[in-house]
């Protein structure tokens, strides 16, 4: 049975178990981006994200903080344009070059891993689970003990688009609480509640079959810090487990916990469609 949630469908089994019947995975995808024309100029922040270095927002931060040099000169003007074939761009003294082979991965994130590239306190990061031939980084964050779908890429623009709030990309979670979640709270979660950082947008919220009233499926499109946990904690519930079962159309179907696989070409296309690319 498929449950229809707004713009996409998620199998009920995916919500219940997080793992559905294994499906044959197609070959991984490597997108070859278009090579620039010799005379083409582009904004420096766009160029930095094409280098797989960061999102455009982060690129702006790097520029404003004097970390970016073009042909030996520090630039702090956000609108600066460069010619990718002629200009030499450095970030923190290291030359950056455009990435032509983009990599798109999905991980079934295990518990007790953090979604930063490195951790000065020595905690295990998701990067220790990734064995890619190019450096990739997580698209958004999951809490240390949240499990499930985590996308990774070296395509800064793609990541930036997916995370942009205006695209309202839906993320589905299976929440396991210590106690039964009351009907009136489900209703309020659906309508939106007031958290410290503002009102939550209306969400799709369901009691999941077989979960004794303690397992809830919730779909949100906002990406606020610890949002799902905070939504339940708002009513005094303790969240025992939080599993992201889908990011847009991408699920962990057939992917064991802790494992990573390349997205198929079709999956990348579907994600791009969500952001109008
Ligand atoms: N919401 C949370 O509370 N935690 C996550 O890891 C993701 C969404």
Contact present, 151 and 49 (Cβ < 8 Å): no
In a domain, 37, yes or no: no
Q: Among 200, 217, 221, 228, name the best residue to mutate to test ligand 1's pocket (greatest count of ligand atoms within 8 A of Cβ).
A: 228
pLDDT in tens, 185-210: 999 999 999 999 999 999 999 999 99
Same domain as 176, residue 119: yes
Average pLDDT over residues 115-126: 87
Instruction: Answer yes or no: is the C-beta of 114 below 6 A from any ligand 1 atom.
Output: no
pLDDT in tens, 17-58: 333 333 323 333 344 455 555 568 899 988 888 887 766 777
Residue nearest to atom 4 of ligand 1 (CA): 226
Q: Which atom of ligand 1 lies nearest, measured to the CA of 231? A: 3
pLDDT exceeds 50 at position 70: yes
Residue nearest to atom 2 of ligand 1 (CA): 226
Same domain as 254, residue 212: yes
pLDDT exceeds 90 at position 277: no
Same domain as 159, residue 47: no
Instruction: Answer yes or no: is the C-beta of 229 below 6 A from any ligand 1 atom.
Output: yes
Active-site annotation holds for 277: no
Same domain as 260, residue 224: yes
Active-site position among 143, 155, 253, 277? 143
Average per-residue pLDDT in the chain?
Answer: 85
Same domain as 86, residue 107: no
Q: Could you tell me what percent of the chain has a pLDDT over 70?
A: 85
Instruction: Answer yes or no: is the C-beta of 227 below 6 A from any ligand 1 atom.
Output: yes
Which of 267, 262, 261, 228 is CA-nearest to residue 244? 228
Note down the domain range covering 64.
Answer: 42-95
Q: What is the CATH number of the domain that holds 222?
A: 3.30.2350.10
Same domain as 130, residue 59: no
Instruction: Answer yes or no: is the C-beta of 153 below 6 A from any ligand 1 atom.
Output: no
Model's pTM, two decimal places? 0.74
Name the domain count of the chain: 2
In a domain, 33, yes or no: no
Same domain as 137, residue 13: yes
Same domain as 71, residue 150: no
**Residue length of the chain:** 277
pLDDT in tens, 79-101: 899 998 889 999 888 888 877 78
Q: What is the CATH number of the domain that holds 77?
A: 3.10.290.10
Same domain as 69, residue 206: no
Same domain as 109, residue 162: yes
In a domain, 194, yes or no: yes
- What confidence score (pLDDT) does residue 276 get? 81
């Amino acid at each position: 049975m498929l449950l229809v949630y707004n713009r996409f469908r998620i199998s009920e089994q995916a919500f219940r178990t997080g793992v559905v019947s294994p499906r044959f995975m197609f070959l991984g995808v490597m997108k070859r981006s278009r090579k620039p024309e010799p005379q083409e100029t582009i904004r420096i922040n766009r160029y930095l994200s094409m280098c797989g270095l960061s999102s455009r927002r982060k690129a702006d931060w790097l520029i404003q903080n004097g970390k970016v040099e073009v042909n030996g000169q520090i630039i702090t003007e956000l609108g600066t344009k460069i010619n990718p074939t002629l200009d030499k761009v450095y970030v923190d003294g290291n030359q950056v070059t455009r990435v032509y082979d983009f990599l798109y991965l999905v991980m079934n994130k295990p518990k007790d891993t953090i979604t930063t590239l490195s951790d000065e306190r020595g905690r295990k990061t998701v990067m220790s689970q990734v064995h890619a031939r190019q450096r990739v980084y997580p698209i958004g964050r999951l809490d240390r003990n949240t499990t499930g779908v985590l996308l990774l890429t070296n395509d800064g623009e793609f990541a930036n688009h997916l995370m942009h709030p205006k695209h309202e990309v839906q993320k589905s979670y299976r929440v396991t609480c210590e106690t039964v979640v009351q009907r009136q709270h489900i209703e309020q979660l659906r309508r939106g509640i007031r958290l410290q950082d503002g009102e939550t947008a209306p969400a799709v919220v369901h009691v999941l079959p077989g979960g004794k009233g303690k397992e809830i499926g919730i779909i949100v499109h906002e990406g606020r810090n610890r949002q799902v946990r905070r939504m339940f904690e708002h009513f005094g519930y303790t969240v025992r487990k939080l599993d992201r079962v889908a990011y847009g159309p991408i699920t962990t179907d057939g992917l064991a916990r802790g494992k990573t696989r390349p997205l198929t070409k079709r999956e990348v296309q579907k994600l791009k469609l969500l952001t109008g690319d």
